[in-house]
């Protein structure tokens, strides 16, 4: 009987393998445990200007212990639903720390705040007749948008700022339900409509009011998710609503993510404009490969100028993902070009902590240098460093490039011309002349390779800081994409024939290989536990 239960659980694990990969690297879990055990830690790194969010209510709250199992845990357990909310807790004051961004000082632009660990980037929005303020994750991989509701009694909602009819006279409620399923959790509620203001732009917008959330969101600062994908979600598409409001100078939005090691946060998002002060050289554009996802063709990855031969496949550009993920075979092929790289499972790779040679991602003939601060982890307790490029096939036969990549470029998302542009991110004035690398030695702050070519496009059929005075815990990163189910809900994407659009010889058979690997692991686990 026990073996049958185990097999059932493992079968569920296998079914979600290609859908949504919540992931917390081992080095990150170790730092998480270490930081929790020390209340006040002396830091020799960069001092961060962290602000604790002010309470929105005077209601007393219980203990400050929040569950540390985040949405991006390394465990692929069963979906934890919010059907049994914790109603024994009083509404808690919001106690999350925020590394606030400075005001860009430009029209139609807003600061991109973060958690102080480079794990999530969010913008402040005002909702309703009283302009209630909330933090919403800027997620180019999501088509849905939602905010936590006053009526929500789950653990995550009690830790966050929530919204509801009592906070807005203009809120239009409906009987339309929504549900978004993630790898280890979900949100559900009803669709509503109200005044929405971001970067000085106001519009009437339909979004989800979440009455139930899984506990996965307890570890994240943001109160909801703002979907910047052009793809359809459960509610009105936000970028479409922006375009239809006729308030933008042009139908683009631009993102500059800030690395917490670089001092004062100057991250920003610009709507309808491009801030040319935030990049060096010209912006090189890449055509979207297919559909309405922000998906372009990766040409290759290089280490110390040597191509790894891992391109020719789709690459999803996702600001809502903390790291970089790809098919196991391609990730292994990349790390074979890195001297001293080693792996016991082909998915997670250790690399020399003193690595200084450049890693670059190539799009349309242009190389974009990735700082070792972003792709090499801090040393763990054994003095080992890990690559932040992981061999997990989040989307079948494709790369998923998150903040590990985006912290190094200025990114322009063009809705009308259906393209994404990159340029090396300019070093901000707040950045020091040198920063600490993974081994503590000073390194330069250059984050890109200067190229003069412009307008190039390729049309095809697509680091956390080791010594930071930031906060007491390191939060897990997040990954994933959503896709609509037949019932109108949003569930993790499972693509059966994703490889058919990839060039011959690039990624064929990857899904089968990954599934076979998972099944073998499952059988091995059952054999050990029976």
Sequence-distant (6+) residues with CB within 8 A of 306 are 337
* Per-residue model confidence (pLDDT) at position 93: 56
Contact by Cβ (8 Å): 285, 451: no
Find the range with the poorest average confidence among 54-58, 112-116, 234-238, 369-373.
54-58
Q: What is the mean pLDDT of residues 202-222?
A: 93
* Per-residue model confidence (pLDDT) at position 84: 37
Q: How confident is the model at residue 215 (pLDDT cuts 50, 70, 90)?
A: confident
* Per-residue model confidence (pLDDT) at position 272: 97
Quote the pTM value.
Answer: 0.72
Q: Which residues of 476-510 are buried (b: 16+ CB within 10 A; e: fewer)?
A: bbbbbbbbbeeeebbbbbbbeebbebbeeebbeeb
Tokens of 500: 């058919």
Find the range with the poorest average confidence among 182-186, 325-329, 404-408, 481-485.
481-485
Residue 207 CB neighbour total at 10 angstroms: 30
Question: If you write DSSP's letter for every residue of 456-507 in order, what string do you get?
Answer: ----------SS--S-S-PPP-----EEE-TTS-EEE---SSGGGGSPTTTS
Q: Is the pLDDT of residue 430 over 90?
A: no
Among the listed residues 171, 169, 211, the one whose alpha carbon sits nearest the alpha carbon of residue 192: 171
* Per-residue model confidence (pLDDT) at position 56: 39
Report the SS3 class of residue 39.
coil
pLDDT in tens, 83-118: 333 333 333 357 788 999 999 999 999 999 999 989
Tokens of 252: 């683009």
More confident residue, 479 or 272: 272
Most distant CA atoms of the chain, gap in Å: 66
Residues above pLDDT 90, as percent of the chain: 57
* Per-residue model confidence (pLDDT) at position 105: 95
Q: How confident is the model at residue 184 (pLDDT cuts 50, 70, 90)?
A: low
Backbone angles phi, psi at 362, to 5 degrees: -110, 125
* Per-residue model confidence (pLDDT) at position 33: 55
Among the listed residues 119, 131, 132, 229, the one whose alpha carbon sits nearest the alpha carbon of residue 180: 229
Sequence-distant (6+) residues with CB within 8 A of 496 are 396, 511
* Per-residue model confidence (pLDDT) at position 62: 23
* Per-residue model confidence (pLDDT) at position 507: 32
pLDDT in tens, 201-210: 999 999 999 9
What Rg value do the Cα atoms of the chain yield, rounded?
22
Q: What is the mean pLDDT of residues 245-261?
A: 96
Residue 320 CB neighbour total at 10 angstroms: 26
Q: What is the mean pLDDT of residues 181-188?
A: 76
Question: If you write DSSP's letter for every residue of 85-120 in order, what string do you get?
Answer: ---SSPPPPP--EEEPBPP--STTEEE-EE-SSSS-
pLDDT in tens, 311-320: 999 999 999 9
Among the listed residues 428, 421, 425, the one whose alpha carbon sits nearest the alpha carbon of residue 450: 425
The CATH fold of domain 279-480:
Cathepsin D, subunit A; domain 1 (2.40.70)
* Per-residue model confidence (pLDDT) at position 29: 60
Contact by Cβ (8 Å): 479, 322: yes
Task: Give the whole-angstrom CA distance, residue 335 versus residue 312.
Answer: 17
DSSP 167: G
pLDDT in tens, 476-519: 344 445 544 434 455 444 333 333 333 333 333 333 333 333 33
* Per-residue model confidence (pLDDT) at position 168: 97
Q: What is the mean pLDDT of residues 131-135?
A: 97
Find the range with the poorest average confidence among 123-132, 150-159, 232-241, 465-474.
465-474
* Per-residue model confidence (pLDDT) at position 505: 31
133: enclosing H helix or E strand = strand 132-139
Q: How confident is the model at residue 181 (pLDDT cuts 50, 70, 90)?
A: confident
Domain locations in the chain as residue ranges: 49-61+84-275, 279-480
Task: Give the whole-angstrom CA distance, residue 134 versus residue 481.
Answer: 23
Task: Give the whole-angstrom CA distance, residue 145 versus residue 156.
Answer: 17
* Per-residue model confidence (pLDDT) at position 526: 32
pLDDT in tens, 36-57: 444 344 443 444 455 545 433 3
Residues above pLDDT 70, as percent of the chain: 62
Q: Which class in CATH covers the domain with range 49-61+84-275?
A: mainly beta
Q: How confident is the model at residue 23 (pLDDT cuts 50, 70, 90)?
A: low
134: enclosing H helix or E strand = strand 132-139
* Per-residue model confidence (pLDDT) at position 357: 86
What is the set of active-site residues? 139, 318
């Amino acid at each position: 009987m026990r073996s049958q239960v185990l097999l059932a659980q493992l079968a569920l694990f296998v079914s979600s393998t290609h859908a949504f990969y919540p992931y917390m690297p081992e080095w990150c879990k170790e730092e998480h445990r270490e930081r929790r055990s020390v209340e006040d830690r002396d830091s020799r790194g960069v001092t961060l200007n962290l602000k604790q969010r002010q309470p929105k209510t005077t209601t007393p709250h219980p203990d400050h212990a929040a569950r540390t199992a985040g949405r991006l845990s390394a465990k692929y357990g069963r979906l934890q639903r919010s059907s049994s909310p914790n109603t024994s807790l009083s509404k808690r004051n919001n106690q999350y720390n925020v590394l606030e961004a400075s005001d860009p000082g430009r029209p139609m632009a807003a600061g991109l705040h973060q958690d102080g660990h480079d794990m999530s980037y969010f913008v402040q929005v005002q909702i309703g007749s009283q302009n209630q303020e909330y933090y919403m994750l800027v997620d180019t991989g999501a088509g849905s948008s939602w905010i936590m509701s006053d009526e929500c009694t789950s653990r995550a909602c009690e830790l966050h700022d929530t919204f509801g009819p009592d906070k807005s006279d203009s809120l239009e409620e409906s009987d339309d339900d929504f549900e978004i399923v993630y790898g280890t959790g979900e949100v559900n509620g009803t669709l509503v409509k109200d005044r929405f203001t971001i970067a000085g732009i106001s519009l009437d917008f339909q979004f989800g009011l979440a009455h139930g959330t899984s506990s996965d969101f307890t570890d994240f600062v943001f109160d909801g998710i703002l979907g910047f994908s052009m793809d359809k979600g459960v509610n009105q598409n936000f970028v479409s609503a922006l375009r239809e409001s006729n308030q933008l100078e042009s139908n683009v939005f631009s993102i500059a993510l800030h690395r917490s090691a670089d001092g004062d946060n100057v991250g920003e998002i610009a709507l309808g404009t491009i801030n040319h002060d935030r990049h060096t050289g010209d912006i090189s554009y890449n055509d979207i490969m297919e559909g309405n996802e922000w998906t372009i063709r990766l040409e290759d990855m290089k280490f110390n100028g040597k191509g790894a031969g891992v391109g020719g496949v789709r690459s999803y550009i996702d600001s809502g993902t903390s790291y970089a993920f790809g098919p196991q075979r391609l990730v292994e092929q990349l790390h074979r070009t890195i001297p001293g790289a080693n792996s016991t499972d082909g998915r997670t790779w250790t690399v020399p902590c003193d690595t200084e040679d450049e890693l670059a991602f190539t799009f349309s003939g242009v190389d974009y240098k990735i700082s070792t601060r972003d792709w090499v982890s801090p040393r763990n307790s054994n003095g080992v460093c890990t690559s932040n490029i992981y061999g997990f096939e989040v989307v079948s036969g494709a790369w998923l490039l998150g903040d590990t990549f985006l912290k190094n470029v200025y990114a322009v998302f063009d809705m009308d011309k259906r393209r994404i542009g990159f340029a090396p991110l300019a070093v901000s004035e707040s950045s020091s002349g040198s920063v600490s690398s993974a081994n503590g030695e000073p390194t330069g702050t250059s984050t890109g390779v200067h190229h003069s070519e412009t307008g190039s496009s390729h049309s095809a059929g697509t680091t956390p800081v080791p010594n930071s005075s930031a906060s007491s815990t390191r939060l897990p990163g997040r990954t994933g994409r959503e896709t609509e189910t037949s019932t109108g809900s949003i569930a993790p994407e499972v693509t059966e024939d994703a490889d058919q659009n990839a060039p011959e010889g690039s990624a064929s058979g990857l899904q089968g290989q990954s599934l076979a690997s998972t099944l073998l692991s499952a059988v091995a686990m059952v054999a050990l536990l029976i």
